[in-house]
Chain A
Amino acid sequence: MTARDLIPIAVLTLLAALLPLVVTSSPVLNFLVFMLIVALGAQGWNILGGFGGQFSFGHAAFFGTGAYVTAILQVRYGVNAWAGLVLATAAGAAVGWVIGFLSFRSGLRGSYFALVTLAFAEVFRILANAASFTGGAAGLLIKLDVRAVNLQFDDRAVFYWLVLAFVAAVLLLTRWIQRSRFGAQLVAVRENEDAAKALGVNSLTVKLRAIALSGGVTALSGCLYAQYFLYIDANIAYGSWISVELLLAPIIGGVGTVFGPVVGALTLHGLGEVAKQFAGRIPGIDLIVFGGVLVLAVAFARGGILGLLERLRDRGRGMVTRGPKEVSHAGR
């Protein structure tokens, strides 16, 4: 990776880190933390779905696993919250590997893979709702004990910085993927699996690595969710709402790009909050906005917001450098 690859990530992270110094209201910080948690999970989805082209409709399976593993370890076994965070991430990666092994080895692709992931998430949701050691339908409450050792802070800004640090780390990870052999092979598998195999790419291994990374990152976001709100139940952790959020954000922001998931999560939740301010009495107004934005993105911006910006920039440049006569060729 070169400086040009790293500078945008560093600048944006620093700017975002300054926000809590300006904004101190709790609702706004709550919103920002939640938005970043969704962005982190969406980054996980983007590794598998964006770079690998394996669209998962059930990333709740990883989000929920992250949330439940850390909650159960703390509540039932008194494990330290930081250790819980590490174990939750590892558990997400392991669950990802297993789901990947079962579905990729049988050659599932496209909509079949999407349906299988959805099924896994639903099975986990029902099991978590029924079993007693997950707290059943009552859910799990992580004991409030505000100490840094317990990954609980009395200042919301600290948690914001923590989540931001993870988001930045995954931005770096994604940039590394984009610049590495693993990434090139992953994208090749997305574009044409047979051609990739003929060029010596072990597509099974590549996809398994991608789903393990993806599951780990999304589990980390689930773990942070549990740690921030200190309460989870099956419908929060394994609910289809989170699966949808995690795939909407990259699609809106720009699938298979480094910043796409973050831009998408910010746009979606920003618009959702604005809609709530103006039409707060209509329940589910933010979901209506999500749907509208998705329709717009699919119809007019297939590469998401980042893809749209790139097209506009190219068009702008074309006007300046190519002169009016050659502009007609630009569309080819």
Chain B
Amino acid sequence: MLAVDGVSKRFGGLMAVDSATLSLQPGGIIGLIGPNGAGKTTLFSMISGFVAPTDGRIRFEGTDITAEEPHRRAERGIGRTFQIVQPFAGLTVCENIAVGAYLRHAKRADATAKARDVARRVGLGSELDRPAGGLTVAGRKRLELARALATEPKLLLLDEVLAGLNPSEIRDIIPVIRGIRDEGVTILMIEHVMQAVMNLCERVYVLAQGRMIAEGPPAVVCADARVIEAYLGHGAAARLKAEGAAHG
């Protein structure tokens, strides 16, 4: 459904993303991992339309969307969350989510009903009338998720929704993400919490220094020498193997 074809982004002298290619079939949860500064968020921003690629094409459901505005992509069914949460701080939780719901529901009553429904699904049902600025970190992450869900996306881009949460909060939110997948939404998620990646993702892409270096099931990718070296440095894979042999 999504085809990212040789997409690059150059910021001055820095090649943030260097001809990355990625393709998603409908359904499932796909991970996008990589060390800090690998270009994951830049790639997300290009898929959602906030950053224009220097090179390459992006197609969604067969249509070329490379030049489309973010709001048009949202209409097509690409939803996203932000790594740094962006709540409408002055509005209540319900009003925040309703902005997303208004995309497919023109009437206030319908949009509000949809917002309440989504809030319950992500576990914000009891916080509907609270100002969004007063939510905890976990609450704000849920709100990001809820707003994106309210737009009824076909493809949901989650940018580190688990970052900053404690282990019990992560445990609480994982079934929510799985529930979204079960309803037929395709999910592409950037994540550093490897436990969650192993747990949730069927397939992962690994981005390092702007290049796509590996792709496959999480267990296979994590054993890949190139991936280990991208995270831990040159020669790390060989050292780990030697240590493993010594202990084994």
Contact = CB atoms under 8 A, between A and B. Distances in A.
Interface of A: 179-181, 184-185, 187-188, 191-192, 194-203, 332
Given A192-B86, A198-B148, A202-B69, A180 B108 contact: yes
- Which of A180, A188, A200 counts the most chain B CB atoms within 10 A? A200
B70 interface: yes
Nearest to A201: B71
25 contacts: A180-B108, A181-B108, A184-B111, A185-B102, A187-B90, A187-B91, A188-B91, A188-B99, A191-B89, A191-B90, A191-B91, A194-B50, A194-B86, A195-B88, A196-B99, A198-B70, A198-B74, A198-B82, A199-B151, A200-B74, A200-B100, A201-B71, A201-B103, A202-B69, A332-B134
Contacts of B102: 181, 184-185
Contacts of B150: 199
B70 A197 contact: yes
Given A181-B111, A192-B86, A194-B86, A199 B50 contact: no
Nearest to B147: A199
Interface of B: 48, 50, 69-71, 74-75, 79-80, 82, 86-91, 95, 98-100, 102-103, 106-108, 111, 134, 147-148, 150-151
Nearest to A202: B71
B103 to A, nearest CB: 4
Interface of A, secondary structure class, is helix
Nearest to A205: B71
Nearest to B132: A191
B211 to A, nearest CB: 27
B71 to A, nearest CB: 5
B108 A199 contact: no
B70 A191 contact: no
A187 B103 CA distance: 15
Contacts of B106: 181
A198 B111 contact: no
A200 B154 CA distance: 14
A191 B87 CA distance: 8
A198 B78 CA distance: 9
B121 to A, nearest CB: 17
Contacts of B107: 181
Contacts of A203: 71
Nearest to A256: B90
A153 to B, nearest CB: 40
Contact of A199 (B69, B74, B89, B134): B74
A185 B50 CA distance: 18
Contacts of A187: 88, 90-91, 95
